Structure 1
Amino acid sequence: MDRRYKKRMDRYWERMRTSAIRSFSSLDTSGWFDYWHCHVDWQGKGDKHPENRESSLKLGYEVLNMAEEFKSKVSGPIQSWWFIHEHSYDDAVYLHSPYENDSPSPYDFEGVDWEKNNNETLLNLVDSKRFRIGTMENEHGTTYVVAPNA
């Protein structure tokens, strides 16, 4: 990867990280979360080069850990998970909690096969003692799901 391009991409990922931190710092711990989510690659730069996709996944995992830290500050039941889609601009970390708006809670991960995962990057990145990885097929193609172990 060209040195100038790498510097530009490093700045981009830092902006995306800063945006995620701002998103979490603006959340109200006494509020509710109806599929609230934070995208980690707004411009889809993770799809341009394999190195970019790896950086996008590393940032997504960092944001998932931010979500876990945020959950520790919330008194009520709250879920977190990370969807990784075929296109990186669709990747997002979610927070969800019960609320009287008819959104099913807890989210049930219907269609996720927790036994099927062939993504070596995720297997090497994600702490299997804390999180489980599964896959599902949907309108986005193959989607990987990373969620806290029960």
Structure 2
Amino acid sequence: MKKFRGKKRYFRNLWRETALDQHNLDFGKEGWFDLWHTHLDFCGLGNNSLKMRREHIKAHISLYTNLLEKLQSFGKPYQLWIELNVDAGSDAVYIHSPNPNEDNFPVKIEHINWACPVPKYIQDSVNLGEFYVGHRNGETDKYYVIQSKADRSILKNPLS
């Protein structure tokens, strides 16, 4: 495996992407989200080491927290969650709301085990006192769903 050069610049740019002004999002009266999501580790660099994976998870949590704060004044129902996949390149933060594209709100994420054992690399990056972590076996992948305990969005969460 080649040495990862430019790591400092890479992570500086990664943390810059957690700021909302880096994304073209409309939180105004006419705004809506149709399963909008972003992958902060699109290239899957978090697959190379746990240290890099943890840093990417922390960046996803930071973006999620910034979005949650902004959505408090959105004035419409919404869903906000993080998905952590086996492949780090598929990790993403999602926002969903009623939208004109399709009558698919609320999106139903079924069969989430909210009482699952949480892997150490997630425990190291996520404050379990502030966030719920659930596990789901999807059609093609297994992944973890993360949602803030303070979030008032309507992802079905049996622990709240």
How does the TM-score come out when normalised to structure 2?
Answer: 0.79
Q: Tell me by how many angstroms 1:130 deviates.
A: 3.4
- Paired position in structure 1 for 2:81: 81
How many residue pairs match? The answer is 145
- Paired position in structure 2 for 1:51: 51
Q: Tell me by how many angstroms 1:141 deviates.
A: 2.7
Unmatched tracts of structure 2, length 5 or more = 150-159
How does the TM-score come out when normalised to structure 1?
Answer: 0.83
What's the CA shift string for 1:60-88, capped at 9, x where partnerless?
A: 11111122122123111111100000111
Whether 1:146 and 2:140 are equivalent positions in the alignment is: no
Q: Tell me by how many angstroms 1:112 deviates.
A: 1.1
Unmatched tracts of structure 1, length 5 or more = none
What's the CA shift string for 1:73-104, capped at 9, x where partnerless?
A: 31111111000001111100001101243343
Q: Give distance in 1, aligned partners of 2:43 and 2:59.
A: 14
- Paired position in structure 1 for 2:110: 110
- Paired position in structure 1 for 2:8: 10
What's the CA shift string for 1:36-65, capped at 9, x where partnerless?
A: 011111211111122111111111111111
Instruction: Name the stretch that deviates more: 37-46 or 100-109.
Output: 100-109
Whether 1:96 and 2:96 are equivalent positions in the alignment is: yes
Give the one of 3, 19, 26 matched to 2:17: 19
Q: Secondary structure at the match of 1:82?
A: strand
Q: Give the superposed CA RMSD.
A: 2.1
More helix, by proportion: 1
